[in-house]
Amino acid sequence: MVVWTDKAKSSLKAIYNYIKEDSIFYAEEVRRKFISESKMLEDFPMIGRVVPETENENI
Protein backbone atom coordinates (compact mmCIF):
# COMPACT_ATOMS: atom_id res chain seq x y z
CA MET A 1 0.00 0.00 0.00
CA VAL A 2 1.23 3.46 -0.88
CA VAL A 3 1.04 5.87 2.03
CA TRP A 4 0.89 9.55 1.17
CA THR A 5 2.69 11.83 3.62
CA ASP A 6 1.02 15.02 4.78
CA LYS A 7 3.55 16.98 2.73
CA ALA A 8 2.74 14.95 -0.41
CA LYS A 9 -1.00 15.48 0.13
CA SER A 10 -0.41 19.19 0.59
CA SER A 11 1.69 19.34 -2.58
CA LEU A 12 -0.96 17.51 -4.58
CA LYS A 13 -3.60 19.90 -3.28
CA ALA A 14 -1.44 22.89 -4.23
CA ILE A 15 -0.92 21.50 -7.73
CA TYR A 16 -4.66 20.87 -8.04
CA ASN A 17 -5.52 24.38 -6.88
CA TYR A 18 -3.01 25.95 -9.26
CA ILE A 19 -4.37 24.08 -12.29
CA LYS A 20 -7.96 24.65 -11.14
CA GLU A 21 -7.50 28.39 -11.66
CA ASP A 22 -7.54 27.70 -15.41
CA SER A 23 -9.43 24.41 -15.67
CA ILE A 24 -11.28 22.30 -13.14
CA PHE A 25 -11.40 19.50 -15.71
CA TYR A 26 -7.61 19.32 -16.07
CA ALA A 27 -7.08 19.77 -12.35
CA GLU A 28 -9.23 16.67 -11.79
CA GLU A 29 -7.37 14.80 -14.53
CA VAL A 30 -3.97 15.56 -13.00
CA ARG A 31 -5.14 14.58 -9.52
CA ARG A 32 -6.68 11.36 -10.85
CA LYS A 33 -3.46 10.54 -12.74
CA PHE A 34 -1.26 11.08 -9.67
CA ILE A 35 -3.48 8.84 -7.56
CA SER A 36 -3.82 6.07 -10.16
CA GLU A 37 -0.08 6.05 -10.88
CA SER A 38 0.72 5.84 -7.17
CA LYS A 39 -1.59 2.82 -6.85
CA MET A 40 0.41 1.14 -9.63
CA LEU A 41 3.39 1.15 -7.27
CA GLU A 42 1.59 -1.40 -5.10
CA ASP A 43 1.80 -3.98 -7.88
CA PHE A 44 5.05 -2.82 -9.46
CA PRO A 45 7.28 -1.33 -6.75
CA MET A 46 10.40 -1.45 -8.93
CA ILE A 47 8.81 0.38 -11.88
CA GLY A 48 10.89 3.18 -13.31
CA ARG A 49 14.49 3.55 -14.29
CA VAL A 50 17.82 3.65 -12.54
CA VAL A 51 19.36 7.11 -12.38
CA PRO A 52 22.34 6.74 -14.75
CA GLU A 53 24.62 9.02 -12.74
CA THR A 54 24.35 6.83 -9.65
CA GLU A 55 23.71 3.36 -11.08
CA ASN A 56 21.90 2.73 -7.78
CA GLU A 57 18.53 1.03 -8.21
CA ASN A 58 17.35 2.43 -4.85
CA ILE A 59 17.42 6.01 -6.14
Burial of 27 (0-12, 13-18, 19+ CB in 10 A): middle
Model pTM score: 0.74
- Give the whole-angstrom CA distance, residue 49 versus residue 59: 9
Q: How confident is the model at residue 59 (pLDDT cuts 50, 70, 90)?
A: confident
Q: What percent of the chain has pLDDT over 90?
A: 66
Q: Could you report the per-residue pLDDT of 25-47, keeping only the tens digit for each?
A: 999 999 999 999 999 988 998 88
